[in-house]
Amino acid sequence: MASTQVVVVRHGETEWNLEGRLQGHLDSPLTEKGVAQARALADRLEGQAFDVLYSSDLGRAYHTAEIIGNKIGVDVTTDKRLRERHLGIFQGRTWREIEETSPDEYALYMGSGPDYVIPEGESARQRFDRTIACLEDVACSHPGATVLVVAHGGVLNGLFRHTLGIPLEASRRFKLWNAGINTFYYEDGAWTLGTWGDVGHLPLGDTLDDS
């Protein structure tokens, strides 16, 4: 099987990113900065030929993908498997609000491992399994191609760990920048990391890691 290049980018900054409010499967619009980040990312990617463009169907990712797609001349294909983790009863709330109103579930979330299922939501492992399966389906469907994927911090978190063999139980010690470029290669059932967290197209200090 020919090597497939898969470039995965995170959506631009959103209103709820700034507020520290958890989005999950809910949504908030891109900020003015978030739109500018998406445009800068589109300008950066314009010089690279992409065969296909996939995106999460959530608005913050899709809006980012539309801006990029219009610039590079590739239509956006959505796949709901690329969504962020479903955060159930935590969605739309800040961590302080969750700790105050749902202390037992907050403690479970903080003290349990990746198999803890948030009420009305899903576990970190369920998101991991869903998103990795989707990315491998995409890579296998386009052997030898250059694929662009617009998704979320949790999707990148999972793919990075999967590629480098970092357990889901391990603390995260890497950044997940808004509008950052992350390049992977898929060949013969295995992933290889090319570049990670490239934000050279963004002004210094104009990134956010809220995951």
**What DSSP designation does 170 have?**
S
Which among 63, 84, 86, 152 is annotated as catalytic? 84
Q: Please, what is the Cα angle at 149 between 93 and 63, to 5 degrees?
A: 55
What b/e string do you get for 27-51 counting C-beta neighbours within 10 Å, with b at 16 or more? bbebbebbbbbbbbbbebbeeeebe
Q: Return the H-helix or E-strand segment holding 146.
A: strand 146-151
Residue 162 is among the residues annotated as catalytic for this protein: no
Q: 């899709």: which residue's tokens? A: 62
- Residue that is written with structure tokens 């090319």 in the block: 194
- The SS3 of residue 124 is helix
Residue 104 dihedral angles phi and psi, to the nearest 5°: -65, -45
Give the DSSP H or E segment for 107.
Answer: helix 103-111
Angle at 45 between CA 40 and CA 49, to 5 degrees: 160
Phi, psi (deg, nearest 5) at residue 74? -130, 135
- Whether 169 is catalytic is no
Question: Of 11, 63, 86, 142, which residue is the catalytic one?
Answer: 11
Q: Which residues carry out catalysis?
A: 11, 84
